[in-house]
Structure 1
Amino acid sequence: MADPAETTANDSAAAPVDSSGDIVVTGSRIRRSAADSPSPLTVLDSGQIRAAGTQQIADVVNQLPSLAVTQTNQTSNLAGNAGINALDLRGMGTQRTLVLVDGRRQVPAIPGTSAVDVSNIPSSLVERVEIITGGASALYGADAVAGVANFILKKDFQGVEANARYSASTRGDLDTYSYDLLAGTNFHEGRGNISAYAFFENQPGLVSGSDRPWTADGYPIYVRPNSRVPYTISDHNRNINTADAAQVILGGRLYAVNANGSLRDPILGPGGFINAAPVNLNGNADALGTLLTDGGEYNGRYDGWLLSVPSERISTRASASYEVSDALKLFAIGTFARTRSTSASLQMTSFGSDVVPADSPFITQQMIDAAGGAIPEGGLYFARRFMELPQPSTEYDRRLFQGTVGGEGNFTLFSHPWNYSAYYSYGRTEQRIRDVNATAYDRWYLGLDSTRGADGTAVCRSTLTDPGNGCVAMNPLVPLTQSMIDYITYTSHWSKSTLTQQVASAYVSGGLFDLPGGAVQMVLGAEYRHEENDIGTIPEYDPTSSLYDPTIGTSATPLVGKYSVKEVFGELHVPLLSDRPFFDLLSIDGAARLSDYSTAGSTTTYKLGGEWAPIADIRFRATYGRAVRAPNIGELYTASSTSGLWITDPCNAYNLANRVDRSEYTAANCAAIAPSDTSTYWVYRDIIAQGNLDLKPETAKTLTLGVVLKPRFLPRLSVAVDYYNIDLRNAIDAFPAQTLINKCVDQASLDNIFCPLIGRDADGNLQSVITQKLNLAKYLTRGVDISATYNVPLEQLGLGAGAGTLSVDANYSRLIKREYTLDPEDPATITEYAGVFGTPKWKGVVRTTYANEGYGLTWTLRHYSPMRASTTITAEQYQDVWTPDVFYNDISGYVSLTPQIELSGGLTNAFDRKPPRIPGAEAGGANFELGYSAGVYDVIGRTFFLALRFHR
């Protein structure tokens, strides 16, 4: 992976060229030498892709340091849209990374968004990937604030290529099978070509937290007995509320409830209760939510979370082209892809805040006696995990079709070569979703409120006033009966959402006149794009549907949203000097794009860049630009939907005393709110998601400064160093519900932008949260990218003829700043994420390859510098703040069995490097709101692959 000057030229056969041999690269639509680009460009070639041994191209691309942790099979279990593989340049969000295929826009994979599922682009079809991270918005339009990833596919293919691949973990799970076939033929003396491609991949197995020791054997947390000592790490913790048997506190003592309702002593771990500060069990109902032990009958925290979601993928592609003349080449491309995937979560858990009423017939005399003769008026609080429930999951079924037709060609104008390209694309994505074995929490709480009926049997209290409501009284203290399970669980019908995208785009490019440095070249183009979404919802949640079920407790309504944009763009390349003393090269470049959105109005983006090479060995480059992203359909039009979430009130007694990120204003604001319930920690409340038609475009200023070194005394060495700075204002963000709740009371007063989104009842207790997107946040990210390549024939080192070639390809990034400001008017909301999980200050990948006739070996070293779990964890108050430097070693190799058959294999995470035992890192380094999914660190462990390739 290197600068274009070092890598792209080696792949020029796969890209459009003109008679001079110049190449079209992602950083420009002007045909010129790949070395002559003012914008940093990283290239991943087909050899590097094959060496990674994966059909998921996202797994290879995401190793680049310019890419942040994003949605993949290992991070999407609870983040929503399981099975999607998206890209996130600079950690600024997938909505700010534009994905192209052969320079053309792709239809998004998720209705309402701009996210492209790159898993629909199998790695065996990719010739190379080009990543540009500076000034791309003016070149390619919205969504390119952070940059562009352009996947260049094999085209005009002649022959047959087939691949079969098997991979698995060395622990005997995560079996994955994939097959693909590419066939093409030329006709009419090579002027025409027809190619077809088919791909199938199946990863059926489940890998959950209970399948790996680092997520199964308890978890680490920061603890301290009092505020006078620093936090230390306590490991192997298990929560009392994870037991299969109900846990209750009676008479100041913890009991477990047997399946027959009798009481017994709980089976604790060898350390007993391991809370840093002893918990008072006498009259403390909240203890059920805080008690910890280190084993015993208690389950793991991540047992139900999938560490990698199962998926099945089918992708087909057919293309045809015909060169009528040098001035006209026609092409047509059709793509179809289908993905099925499933996410899963833990069965319902009561964390200690659920209660069995004091008059419930499910409370036994033994329990009454243990409580001292009477159950408190508030009822009997309990904690347990309901493992008898079927595991809840969400199933996704996506279909994508995209058809493209167009033409391109060359001609002469102003005595200079010119070229043009035009295409029309129609794309459609259909997504179906259903919930399987989900819990209807409204039914659960109705059933939990049990009492005695007229005949003395257990009934729901609501049934006394509404006899026909079908409520089934719940006895949560023992395993639920089948009738109870049937009442509170359901499997929904499928929702259906569609997205259609139409793009018409054309440009011309060529030379105008000559200067001492060469021909002045320009690009003029126009583009029209129309997107329309029909976002459906699960019928059981839709009040307008005949299948609506209000007892589930979730509501959502469908909607139709659309927008269109008309754009004109231009680009200019002015080579001022070349081959002069102190000016081996001097040029300037500019680009501009005018856009008119039907929703957001008119926007303007631009970039200005230049290069100066005083001698051939060294070249300086710089770009400055303005980028704009208009709100997408999902941000504008999302219909109001209501679902539930466990949240905590920052005004409860525990949070007021212990929440580490509370502000100096929190206590006073909470005193003004004065909630009546300050003892309950977790509460299950309505979360209302809705769009915002008042959203405006977000804008960014981008700057890159770099230098490229190609010393003549080491002709095969290239080094590029680039500084980047992205300042994004009025960023469109939807903040997590808990963040909104906390920020409301952390401001200088309750008169702020967050509190209107928080619903409280007359007694000041939390009722609901609106998670509406706002033009509010600010992103500032700065860093330095470093890339180097070197290759040498070993014969030159005296090892003899036929000794092969050794090459090294290194790519590193130093993150200087990743600053996120929730509210620019409030300095207290500035958060620095550099060095926090997901954003290492140093991230790098180094590939070392030995290649000889018929065989080769590649060693890939991946590196993450130390990180901490959150911005509030500091060395002043915490011990063991940082994870260590983490290195992963991947080894792969290939051998040609015959001229047509190649066998390859390898190990990923060859030394089975385990995640660090810093809180959160053991589950991949992601946070709770993402479901403790795998993020930075490998939670699967060592895997292997074997592949067989046939080509002729």
Structure 2
Amino acid sequence: MLKKLNLLTASIQAAVLAGTAAGTVAVANTDSEAQKVERIQVTGSKIKRFNLTSPTPVTVIGGVELENQGITNVNDLLEEMPQATVGLSPETTTNYIYASGLNTTDLRGLGSERTLVLVNGRRFVPGSVGDTAVDLNNIPTSMIERIEIATGGAAAVYGADAVAGVVNIITKKSMDGIEVDVSTVRPEQSGGEANYFSITGGMEADKLSFIASLNYTENESYSKLSRDFFANPVNSYGNPANADGEDNIPGRVILGKPTALAYYSEGGDFFTKNAFTTDGYLNHHYTFDENGNIRAFDNGLGMIPNPGVGRDANRYFTDVNNMGDGIFSDGYKSYFQTPLERVIASAYGTYQLNDEHALTFDFTYSNTDSTTESSPAFFRHTIRRDNAFIKDDMAKLMDDNGLTSVTLRQANEHLWGDRMYNQEREVFRTSFGAEGYLTDDWGYSTYVQYGRIEQDTLWTGEVLTQNLANAIDAVEYNGQIVCADRDAEGNVVGAIEGCTPFNTMGATSATAAQQDYIATTATRFAKHDQVVFALTVDGSLYELPAGYVAAAFTAEHRRESATTAPSENMEKGLIFGNSSLPMDGEIEVDELSAEISIPLLEDAFLATDLTLETAFRYMDYSVTGSDNAWKLALNWGVTDDLRVRLNRSKSVRAPNLGDLFTPNSKTFSSGRADVCRADTIASSGSKYKDNVIKNCQADGLAAGWMPTDEWIGGGSLPGYIQGNQNLENEVSNDYTVGVIYTPSFVDGLDFTVDYWSFEVDGAIEYFGRNSVALCYESSSLDNPFCGNFERDEKTGNITHFYTRPINAAQITKKGMDFESAYRTDVFNGSLSLKLTATYLIDDNQNSTGREEDFRNYVGETASPRWKGRLSAVYSQDDSSYVLTANYRHATVNDNDWTAEDNNYNDIPSYTTFDFMYKTYLMDELQLRVGINNLLDREPPRNPFTYDDGEFFDVKGRRLSIGAKYTF
């Protein structure tokens, strides 16, 4: 590394010791060959500074903090920071297909797509094809020097997507020696074990320095039923004592039994009367034994007394330890964590050409493998009376009840097996660059970077839905059992060629021929390429009385492209629950930015220093056109102890490739009837009734119009999920006001308080069938919702709808951050305390843009008023004791709750404690022993949260053991 740049590490270490990088740090240069004070740089600015003052709030997390928590994935720590929340994680992607196993962070709860993750100040490859959010699984923990979190005002410095802020992961640049690290995590209850291994080594020579590492992690899955608290679940049901909606008696109450809801039977079940009535319900519910004979369905605990109406009327409860015939329940084949295996190889190197210039190189290869296990494919089959496999007892039952067919509900675990979604992701990223000094006052940094993610998805346990329907409709024809070929009236006119008949009534196995005809697998290959060219020059423009005007200028070109290639059966929509068309999309953007720091005052009354920070970025996107982001900030040192910072900025987020180019995939939706129906208009009490009448007639529907298709009344309407190339960039107005207090009369103590505000307009939101109502309720037909469905020109019937992203939402978030650090000597050691907390003032979101649709989320589960983290580290000799507490304030499930809704809206506060002990058995060998969730805190006992792994710890108390050897 260049001699002038060698001081960077020492300077940053000094900044880290300052707690929040908010104060002024003067770094003395002890290098006899370079007598200048080194310019250094932190996240939030590309200007290297002689005196370090942060223009925006920056929280610094040292790599040692990962070690102190026994953490091997960056996101496991970030999700505990009060400024952030969980984006995606193995705990929240157990039901996802393409996102299985991803680890993304989400600053301010504004969405992972609005958090820009950088590695050494540069963009990283997205974690999923077509997205922008970075999968933190691809960042090697052993290479992390520190993590810097800058919130607000970052888009002008780093570009789009930094609406909520930037997470900049700084890696180690060199090393002299080899380090081996191994660790394991063992939960108290079975499942969820994790194993980690890394080897890191490097060399520091006169001209060449490098570091390389190999990381391996294995996280095992664990089922929900493996945890005691889930085996004793908290369910609710319709309150029998509730008479109406005005008696102040809750409509739903907690069911005080260890029960689960059951739905489908593996052997198949059916009713001989309307399943949506409770009269005689249990007496008309049947299934099959292993020989295909009918028997009464085993309902477990059976129906509870007077279970209510609607969704409760068609459900039965069963003991979780005695499921009876019901195999679909809250606990069946569901997991708290997706299994994940990852291997990461990475390297960083610097070759010093001379005292002024150096070449840089970095490389990352990552392979992650995750498998999500789901329920077996489940169906509703129509079994006609002429089915050849119906036995005499079922035939008599149907005849006695006058049935020409029954609907058989079935989940076939033993026939086709569980559905498994396997995701293998390979990430390759490399860059070549140069950095150095052009003059004594001006430096430069340039690089070219290429990255790719390849994502292979394999589905097993899938079924060709039409083939299954063909095989089940088996009849006797010309003396043989065949798959029925029927005419429009349902009469058998022949046999379907190539079809293998199948008896699904009580079946537990299938022949090879039946498997070949009905069962299948599906695949999808996807890739995302990223290319970046960038050049930054920074230095001093001229000198003012208060100091030098510093500047940084950047030019950047970036290209993102994504393609997907689904298998033929997915492309044609032939398999159960999955269909997808190929995608091919590309975005190019050219960006120019300027950042200028202007010292206004120095050593004046009530102003030890006053600096104006400005930044402006121009962006030209190939799809959404040109845009800009800017920042104005003041950094004001009032006294040696007190500093104030103010920031006003405009940020943008460009739509990602998925938002723009997602191809058609089939979907269905049931819900509200067409608002243009004459009977709907006549009975409407909506404030928008006049708009609806006017707009429906303007759309060509005469007064008194009624649809001719029955399903328009509220049934299942076909639709398509697709991207929208007419999207525009989101725009956010950001504000930050902060105070940093470092009292000189108390050594080692500092306080930071920051008020922040985000107002996002034109936020991208997906709209589907609900677009129909929004279209006609608007003041005119000139609105973005009317393009999301189509009508038949002759009948006026809606033929289909589109689920598309639209720039219609508005988001407002406001809050305050508090951070304090204190360091002191205690007995024969040292004690370090660090408190970080966030108070949420506003969390208003509106998906439609209409004023009356604004909803306040503050105080609900995802948006607690207070979140806090306190860490205490006591070090003595070669040993350290680390205690960490994480706190979430008490919340409610729904701010719009009334006493009529339920009796379980309140969710208590939640605190967990982690402990770690570290010691050196010898100079080269470190041993770590820790306990996470020290008090074995379970999720709150509430129907909404008792199994919520997104915000609460569902893994339970666990022991972590690790060792590190350096040689």
Give TM class, smaller chain: 0.7 to 0.9
Q: Which residue of 1 aligns with 2:61?
A: 44
Q: Cα deviations across residues 844-873 of structure 1 (Å, max 9, x unaligned)?
A: 221111111211111111112233334553
Equivalent of residue 53 in structure 1, options 70, 73, 77: 70
Please say if 1:710 is aligned against 2:736: no
Q: Which residue of 1 aligns with 2:621?
A: 597
Please say if 1:331 is aligned against 2:360: yes
**Alpha-carbon distance in structure 1 between the residues aligned to 2:500 and 2:770:** 36
Please say if 1:202 is aligned against 2:218: yes
Greater Cα shift, 129-138 or 232-241: 232-241
Please say if 1:588 is aligned against 2:612: yes
Greater Cα shift, 304-313 or 890-899: 304-313
Percent of aligned pairs sharing the same letter = 27
CA distance change for structure 1 residues 553 and 711 in 2, over 3 Å: closer, same or farther? Answer: closer
**Alpha-carbon distance in structure 1 between the residues aligned to 2:711 and 2:359:** 70
Q: Which residue of 2 aligns with 1:688?
A: 720
Query: Which residue type is aligned with residue 378 of structure 2?
Result: T
Please say if 1:261 is aligned against 2:303: no
**Alpha-carbon distance in structure 2 between the residues aligned to 1:49 and 1:539:** 45
Q: Which residue of 1 aligns with 2:812?
A: 780
Greater Cα shift, 498-507 or 476-485: 476-485
Equivalent of residue 724 in structure 1, options 756, 760, 764: 756
**Alpha-carbon distance in structure 1 between the residues aligned to 2:586 and 2:330:** 42
Query: Which residue type is aligned with residue 567 of structure 2?
Result: I
**Alpha-carbon distance in structure 2 between the residues aligned to 1:866 and 1:766:** 46
**Alpha-carbon distance in structure 2 between the residues aligned to 1:806 and 1:426:** 44
Please say if 1:135 is aligned against 2:135: no
Equivalent of residue 635 in structure 2, options 606, 611, 615: 611
**Alpha-carbon distance in structure 2 between the residues aligned to 1:12 and 1:306:** 52
Equivalence map 1:461-610=2 (5 Å): 464=492, 467-473=495-501, 475-483=503-511, 487-492=517-522, 494-542=523-571, 550=574, 554-610=578-634
Equivalence map 1:204-243=2 (5 Å): 205-221=220-236, 223-225=238-240, 226=242, 227=244, 228=247, 229-235=249-255, 236-243=258-265
Equivalence map 1:630-641=2 (5 Å): 630-641=654-665
Q: Cα deviations across residues 606-663 of structure 1 (Å, max 9, x unaligned)?
A: 0000122322222111111111222222222222223x56x543459xxxxxxxxx99
**Alpha-carbon distance in structure 1 between the residues aligned to 2:782 and 2:225:** 46
Equivalent of residue 183 in structure 1, options 193, 201, 216: 201
Equivalent of residue 897 in structure 1, options 921, 926, 932: 921
CA distance change for structure 1 residues 460 and 827 in 2, over 3 Å: closer, same or farther? Answer: farther
CA distance change for structure 1 residues 749 and 31 in 2, over 3 Å: closer, same or farther? Answer: closer
Q: Which residue of 2 aligns with 1:248?
A: 270
**Number of residue-to-residue matches in the alignment:** 899
**Alpha-carbon distance in structure 2 between the residues aligned to 1:294 and 1:782:** 45
Equivalence map 1:746-785=2 (5 Å): 754=785, 757=788, 769-785=801-817
- C-alpha deviation, 1:331, in angstroms: 1.0
**Alpha-carbon distance in structure 2 between the residues aligned to 1:918 and 1:673:** 44
SS in 2 for 1:193: strand
- C-alpha deviation, 1:392, in angstroms: 0.5
**CA contact under 8 A between 2:376 and 2:461: conserved in structure 1?**
no
**Alpha-carbon distance in structure 2 between the residues aligned to 1:467 and 1:637:** 42
| 5+ residue gaps, structure 1 | 281-285, 544-548, 653-661, 925-933
Query: Which residue type is aligned with residue 6 of structure 1?
Result: G
**CA contact under 8 A between 1:221 and 1:237: conserved in structure 2?**
no
Q: Cα deviations across residues 739-764 of structure 1 (Å, max 9, x unaligned)?
A: 66897899899997557646899999
**CA contact under 8 A between 1:42 and 1:131: conserved in structure 2?**
yes
**CA contact under 8 A between 2:734 and 2:756: conserved in structure 1?**
yes
Please say if 1:63 is aligned against 2:87: no
SS in 2 for 1:95: helix
SS in 2 for 1:230: coil
**Alpha-carbon distance in structure 1 between the residues aligned to 2:800 and 2:299:** 37
**Alpha-carbon distance in structure 2 between the residues aligned to 1:760 and 1:18:** 76
**CA contact under 8 A between 2:20 and 2:58: conserved in structure 1?**
no
- C-alpha deviation, 1:874, in angstroms: 4.0
- RMSD of aligned residue pairs (Cα, Å): 3.6
SS in 2 for 1:712: coil
Q: Which residue of 2 aligns with 1:317?
A: 346
CA distance change for structure 1 residues 756 and 592 in 2, over 3 Å: closer, same or farther? Answer: closer
**Alpha-carbon distance in structure 2 between the residues aligned to 1:477 and 1:759:** 41
- C-alpha deviation, 1:209, in angstroms: 2.5
Equivalence map 1:51-450=2 (5 Å): 51-79=68-96, 80-188=98-206, 191-203=207-219, 205-221=220-236, 223-225=238-240, 226=242, 227=244, 228=247, 229-235=249-255, 236-250=258-272, 252=280, 253-257=283-287, 258-270=289-301, 272-274=302-304, 277=307, 289-295=314-320, 296=322, 297=324, 298-299=326-327, 300-350=329-379, 355-367=382-394, 373-377=400-404, 379-388=405-414, 389-412=416-439, 417-449=441-473
Query: Which residue type is aligned with residue 92 of structure 2?
Result: T
Query: Which residue type is aligned with residue 202 of structure 1?
Result: E
- C-alpha deviation, 1:583, in angstroms: 1.1
**Alpha-carbon distance in structure 2 between the residues aligned to 1:224 and 1:316:** 57
**Alpha-carbon distance in structure 2 between the residues aligned to 1:818 and 1:510:** 40
**CA contact under 8 A between 2:224 and 2:331: conserved in structure 1?**
yes
**Alpha-carbon distance in structure 2 between the residues aligned to 1:919 and 1:666:** 36
| 5+ residue gaps, structure 2 | 1-12, 274-279, 675-683, 694-703
Q: Cα deviations across residues 278-337 of structure 1 (Å, max 9, x unaligned)?
A: 569xxxxx9884333455414432422332111221111122212233321211112211
**Alpha-carbon distance in structure 2 between the residues aligned to 1:151 and 1:97:** 13
Query: Which residue type is aligned with residue 130 of structure 1?
Result: E
Q: Cα deviations across residues 376-400 of structure 1 (Å, max 9, x unaligned)?
A: 35x3234454332411111112111
Q: Cα deviations across residues 514-562 of structure 1 (Å, max 9, x unaligned)?
A: 334322211112111122222222343235xxxxx84667543323222
**CA contact under 8 A between 1:279 and 1:291: conserved in structure 2?**
no
Q: Which residue of 2 aligns with 1:944?
A: 959
Greater Cα shift, 224-233 or 68-77: 224-233
Q: Cα deviations across residues 170-190 of structure 1 (Å, max 9, x unaligned)?
A: 2132232221111111123xx
Greater Cα shift, 624-633 or 319-328: 319-328
CA distance change for structure 1 residues 359 and 920 in 2, over 3 Å: closer, same or farther? Answer: farther
**CA contact under 8 A between 2:836 and 2:869: conserved in structure 1?**
yes
Query: Which residue type is aligned with residue 214 of structure 2?
Result: A
**Alpha-carbon distance in structure 2 between the residues aligned to 1:615 and 1:294:** 68
Q: Cα deviations across residues 770-807 of structure 1 (Å, max 9, x unaligned)?
A: 3222222222111111111112110xxxx3xxx21111
Q: Which residue of 1 aligns with 2:8?
A: none
Q: TM-score, normalised by structure 2?
A: 0.85
- C-alpha deviation, 1:919, in angstroms: 2.5
**Alpha-carbon distance in structure 2 between the residues aligned to 1:112 and 1:778:** 23
SS in 1 for 2:858: coil
Q: Which residue of 2 aligns with 1:546?
A: none
**Alpha-carbon distance in structure 1 between the residues aligned to 2:430 and 2:527:** 16
**Alpha-carbon distance in structure 2 between the residues aligned to 1:466 and 1:371:** 25
Greater Cα shift, 601-610 or 504-513: 504-513
- C-alpha deviation, 1:249, in angstroms: 2.9
**CA contact under 8 A between 1:460 and 1:471: conserved in structure 2?**
no
